[in-house]
Chain A
Amino acid sequence: MYEVLMFDGGVYRINELYELVEDIGGFVIQKTQLQVAITVTIAIPSEDRPIIESKTKELGGKLVEVPLAGTEIAVVAPTLGRHHMPHPVCDIAEHLRRYGAITVVMGLARGKGRETAQITADEMAFIEEYDAAIFVLGNFADCIMKEKVRLFEDIEVPVIVVCGPNISSLPNCEAVVCGVGRKAERMRHADEIAKLEETALAVEAAIFKRRNIIDEDPLCVHPAEVKQRVDELESVRQSLRPSPVVLHLDGLRVKVPYDQCKDMLRDIDIFGRKLGDLTTIAPSRLGGSTMIRILTTAQLQTRDNAQSSS
Chain B
Amino acid sequence: MNISVKGTEEYGNQSYADLFRRILVDLGLANRVEEARIVILPEKPLFLISVRTRKARTTVKLDDIASVEEKGDNTYLNITNESYAPVLLANLWKRFGRERIEQLSRLEVLCHGIKPDLLKAIELDPGQELKKELLDALWRLMPEGFKVHHTLSSETVMTIAATEHVMTDEMILMAKQMQGDMETSTITEEESMPEDEESEEEDG
Residues of chain A touching chain B, judged by Cβ–Cβ distance below 8 Å, are 78-79, 81-84, 112-117, 138-143, 164-166, 181-185
Contact = CB atoms under 8 A, between A and B. Distances in A.
Contacts of B42: 114, 140, 142-143
B12 interface: yes
Nearest to A167: B11
| Chain B interface residue number, banded | 20 to 34
B11 A139 contact: yes
A139 B145 contact: no
A139 B12 contact: yes
B22 A142 contact: no
A113 B148 CA distance: 11
Contacts of A141: 9, 11-12
Binding site secondary structure of chain A: loop
A82 B9 contact: no
B144 A113 contact: yes
B95 interface: no
B47 to A, nearest CB: 10
A164 B145 contact: no
Contacts of B45: 114, 143
Contacts of A82: 140
Contacts of A183: 19
B8 A115 contact: no
A112 B43 contact: no
Interface in B1-38: 8-9, 11-12, 15-16, 19, 22-23, 26
Interface in B144-201: 144-147, 164-165
A182 B9 contact: no
B9 A140 contact: yes
A181 B164 contact: no
B157 to A, nearest CB: 24
Pick from B19, B45, B145, B164 the residue with the most CB of A within 10 Å: B145
